[in-house]
Amino acid sequence: MTATLIPSTLSDHGLRWQHSLGKLGTAFYTELKPTPLPEPYWVGSSTQVGKLLNLPSGWNTSAHWLDALTGNLSLEGGRSLASVYSGHQFGVWAGQLGDGRAILLGESDGHEIQLKGAGLTPYSRMGDGRAVLRSSIREFLCSEAMHGLRIPSSRALCVTGSDAPVRRETLETAAVVTRVAPSFIRFGHFEHFAHTDQHAELKTLADYVIDKFYPQCRKSDQWQGNTYVALLAEVTRRTAEMVARWQSVGFCHGVMNTDNMSILGLTIDYGPFQFLDAYDPAHVCNHSDHQGRYAFYKQPNVAYWNLFCLGQALLPLIGEQEQAIAALETFKELYPQAFARQMAAKLGFAKAREAHRSVIEDIEKLLAAERVDYTIFWRRLSHWAEHCDCSDASVRDLFMNRTAIDDWLVTFSAQTRSEDAGHDAYLMLRSNPKYVLRNHLGELAIRAARQKDFSKVAELLKVLERPYDEHPESEHLADFPPDWAGGIEISCSS
């Protein structure tokens, strides 16, 4: 028998390494290698993200890439590390955390590539450094679903699995998600250096982020030339925009701890997230969140609270507390503006107007009172507007209180007909997705994947990449959730 020679590094990989984070110094990270997993297999992969990274064609069927993206084989020129951060978890200072199971392979053409679930790091604390198949599939699909919904997010290249056992509440199996973002730096990175009084490092980190991602902050005369206030203001703006988009599609993050908040305003760290089925503003998707701190309707306020933690951390650099507060205060205008823009688009208006406000508030009340399916309502409304067929029952049928919805539809259609409204039914179809990653859809794909059938992961990826399009062969993925969907329990355990 001839033994297959496994190389120790993969060359010719198309990646062009820069490692800018890796040049900051050892205060920020520990260099280390991923821990291999036995006999990996492909679970899902994104050709879109492969192209983004300039990977050679056929990467997602290659045994070498399978090994490389499971942490079993080094990528030539890579420089792998785990970074240190801290953070507030559920409103309480949690002290040092860090990449406990995510290992950065390096940065190529502005994309950092991280393996999540790749083994122990100095920051693993009580954890095992692993991620289970279930949560890895959820993170993979949701990253790409969010991108499809035009919501800023980390991306996901692939998931690989291994039958190596991983203990959670029950015995599960291991998986690795390869995720990609311009940077995985979190609010918690800044909190770490502020709380440990490492102000030189705090400045190095802030300067790194500004030079690389927010160079306009150096020019800003708006904040009296205070570059670090300008940074806080910019992060505030991006975070407001991100959360407004979450609220408009009914996305509940589930663990908005400051260590899960991206300095670039990206949605990161997918854990117990959920897209609302029935519209319920008080919905808490994370079964570990007993106080309901991260209920759906609280997300904008939590984002604001988290930004205060970031502001506090940046204070040694900002100097003036009033300036920091002024930058944070902009959230109070930016968030409602961003939300109004998103909701106006759902109604088919390119520009938000004051007149839309009551229409939006009224429909939210109606949807909440009757627990109407959020995604299906907006999609049906888009078709209703497209055909201008007011006798169409598809929207009315979602409500018990027909008088209330009829009244609302009359008000809404009057707005669409007003001369200067510029109503566009096509914009509604581009703003109200037909497909979202409902919990039960993820669950069905996970159950099949446990039996080594990965076709449902691939099918979901395909529709979620283009959630506003019709996918006649996958019509069932746009259905109402089954009764058992309400019983799915998603917790922090991942």
Residue 259 annotated among the catalytic residues of the structure: yes
Stretch near Mg ion under the rule CB under 5 A, chosen from 257-265, 366-374, 399-407, 410-418: 257-265
Tell me which of ligand AMP, Mg ion, none is bound by residue 280, counting a contact when its beta carbon lies within the kind-specific cut-off of 5 to 8 angstroms: none
Cβ proximity to ligand AMP, 160 vs 375, nearer residue: 160
CB atoms within 10 A of CB 75: 22
DSSP 36: P
Q: What is the largest CA-CA distance in the chain?
A: 79
Cβ pair 184, 158 in contact under 8 A: no
Residues in region 268-307 near Mg ion by CB under 5 A: 269
Q: How far is the CB of 168 from ligand AMP (least distance, A)?
A: 9
In 48-183, DSSP assigns E strands to: 74-75, 81-83, 86-89, 92-96, 102-108, 111-116, 131-132, 155-167, 171-181
Cβ proximity to ligand AMP, 128 vs 465, nearer residue: 128
Interacting residues with ligand AMP (CB under 6 A): 97-101, 123-124, 127-130, 255, 259-260, 269, 271, 492
Residues listed for the chain: 494
Tell me which of ligand AMP, Mg ion, none is bound by residue 277, counting a contact when its beta carbon lies within the kind-specific cut-off of 5 to 8 angstroms: none
Tell me which of Mg ion, ligand AMP, none is bound by residue 340, counting a contact when its beta carbon lies within the kind-specific cut-off of 5 to 8 angstroms: none
- CA-nearest of 289, 5, 53 to 180 is 53
Cβ proximity to ligand AMP, 99 vs 144, nearer residue: 99
Does residue 89 bind Mg ion (CB under 5 A)?
Answer: no
Does residue 260 bind Mg ion (CB under 5 A)?
Answer: yes
Cβ pair 39, 163 in contact under 8 A: yes
Q: How far is the CB of 184 from ligand AMP (least distance, A)?
A: 11
Stretch near Mg ion under the rule CB under 5 A, chosen from 3-11, 54-62, 206-214, 262-270: 262-270
Question: Where would I find the H helices in 41-148?
Answer: 47-52, 63-68, 133-148
Distance CA(160)–CA(157), nearest Å, equals 10
Query: 86 by DSSP, 3-state: which?
Result: strand
Tell me which of ligand AMP, Mg ion, none is bound by residue 336, counting a contact when its beta carbon lies within the kind-specific cut-off of 5 to 8 angstroms: none
Distance CA(285)–CA(255), nearest Å, equals 9
Partners of 17 in the β-ladder: 108
CA-to-CA dists, residue 332 to 325, 329, 338, angstroms:
12, 6, 11
Q: Of the residues 259, 277, 280, 373, which is catalytic?
A: 259
Q: How far is the CB of 273 from Mg ion (least distance, A)?
A: 12
Tell me which of ligand AMP, Mg ion, none is bound by residue 129, counting a contact when its beta carbon lies within the kind-specific cut-off of 5 to 8 angstroms: ligand AMP
Does residue 139 bind Mg ion (CB under 5 A)?
Answer: no
CA-to-CA dists, residue 364 to 241, 311, 359, angstroms:
20, 32, 9
Q: How far is the CB of 346 from ligand AMP (least distance, A)?
A: 30
Cβ proximity to Mg ion, 260 vs 342, nearer residue: 260
Distance CA(96)–CA(101), nearest Å, equals 14
Cβ pair 37, 174 in contact under 8 A: yes
Please provide the DSSP assignment of 368-414 as one string.
HHHT-BHHHHHHHHHHHHHHT-TT-HHHHTT-S-HHHHHHHHHHHHH
CA-to-CA dists, residue 472 to 121, 284, 478, angstroms:
45, 32, 10
Q: How far is the CB of 379 from ligand AMP (least distance, A)?
A: 32
Cβ proximity to ligand AMP, 127 vs 486, nearer residue: 127
State the number of binding residues for Mg ion (CB under 5 A): 2
Cβ proximity to ligand AMP, 127 vs 319, nearer residue: 127
Question: Where would I find the H helices in 196-298?
Answer: 199-213, 227-249
Q: How far is the CB of 245 from ligand AMP (least distance, A)?
A: 21
Cβ proximity to ligand AMP, 234 vs 259, nearer residue: 259
Residue 312 has which token pair? 């506090």
Q: Which residue is nearest to Mg ion (CB)?
A: 269
Our separate counts of H helices and E strands in the chain read: 16, 14
Cβ proximity to ligand AMP, 124 vs 416, nearer residue: 124
Q: How far is the CB of 136 from ligand AMP (least distance, A)?
A: 12
Q: How far is the CB of 97 from Mg ion (least distance, A)?
A: 8
Residues of this chain that interact with Mg ion (CB under 5 A) are 260, 269
The set of catalytic residues is 259
